Amino acid sequence: MTSSKPKSVQTMKPATAAKKLGVPLTATPAEFQAGVVSRDELNEMQSTPPDWLVDLRRNGPHSKQVIAAKLKISVAGVLRGGITGPLTTAEIDALRAENPAWLEREQALQVEVRKEALRLKQR
């Protein structure tokens, strides 16, 4: 016997959707921040991103996870470097060009962490 109950639509808070999209909530449009996002809407944004999402992903501001990936360090390394908020792509590029000592240390540390992870995986 099948149920005649309609399938409910899964929704999430804007903050959750923004995190899944890899963008800071504060950088999203007001209408995105004010509503709820369905699972179907999120999937649609991931497969065919709207212009505002394309622009955010290209120019920022970027979340700590994206900053860490672009700098090739860990999120903890981003925080140890004193970066507590989002950065734009231009700011990340400037930081890379400047290459401060803390960034060099964090990149070297990340290389060692990856080597150790690979060594342990090969055991």
Tell me the mean pLDDT per 10 residues along the chain, length 123: 66 92 90 91 94 93 91 95 93 96 95 91 86
- Per-residue model confidence (pLDDT) at position 63: 86
Contact present, 62 and 70 (Cβ < 8 Å): yes
**Global pTM?**
0.75
